[in-house]
Amino acid sequence: MNPVRFDGQVVLVTGAGRGLGRAYARLLAERGAAVIAHDAGVGQDGIGSDPSVANEVVRGIEASGGTALAQYQNLSSRTACEQLVESAAKHFGRLDAFIHSAGLVVYRGIEETEPEEWERLCKVNIEAPFWLCRAVLPLMKQRCYGRIVLTVSGVGLSADSALPDVTAYAQGKAAQFGLMNALACEGEAWGIRVNAISPMAATRMFRRKVKPGEFSVEAVAPAAVFLASSACNFSGAVLRAGNGQFSVGRYLGTTGIRLEAAKPEDLVARWDEIGGL
């Protein structure tokens, strides 16, 4: 089996200063990629700025013989998103893969979520991936190659995994599922593959206590790196990864049945045949 390598390739990772993003950036660099390590260094509430967060990751990569560039834009605006991609392209002259790991969570139900919290979540979890992908796509089209990896969450994709106090976060992560599907279609003709990772790791967003080594970010990193590589030749899949467990999720529909001039009562009576849960 050929090793997954990124020699000569450039990969942009947002949220690369901590947790999952940092693990992705380090593994990509180990595999030969030149990494744009982006992190605005914001607090858990999305406020503030600390360039040392991204700088530390870059220093570590360079100390190990790798190549990396730190970027610090706050992704709460279209302009900042475009500036990040422009800086990456200007510095390296190309962009082969993009992993959007930056995210923000607020632990509140829909009634308790404050308008300003909702606005911050929208900007980071919904608007930023849209503007970043819009800027990234033309660079990949020029080379007829590209890999885009978005980040989703089970709390936004499955009622079985939903939680009662992350409604705004769930909506934002589910929005990236829709973006993934649309871009998978848009990028197909140019050899651009678009997928998503649904990670489970003990980052600063994680709430329950874990044992040493449990739900490590390093256990998730191989999944994101695979999706960002040339070895990934498919689009539109969600790779779920955490604690050594890997599985794939997609939107699937049932075959269903045909009902002419159906009434609501018909749907009640034949729900099991339609494929209702």
d(CA 101, CA 152): 9
Give the bridge partners for 166, in sequence order: 108
- Copy the structure tokens of residue 115: 């308008």
Active site residues: 169
Can you tell me the distance from the alpha carbon of 28 to that of 13, in angstroms, rounded to the nearest whole number?
10
Residue in this structure with the two tokens 């503030």, named with its chain if needed:
48
Beta strands in 5-63 (DSSP E): 10-14, 34-38
Q: Which of 239, 246, 213 is nearest to 224 (CA)?
A: 239
Q: Is 94 left (phi over 0), alpha (psi -120 to 50) or beta?
A: beta
8 Å CB contact between 71 and 65: no
Q: Do the strands 238-242 and 245-249 form a parallel or antiparallel pair, or are they unpaired?
A: antiparallel
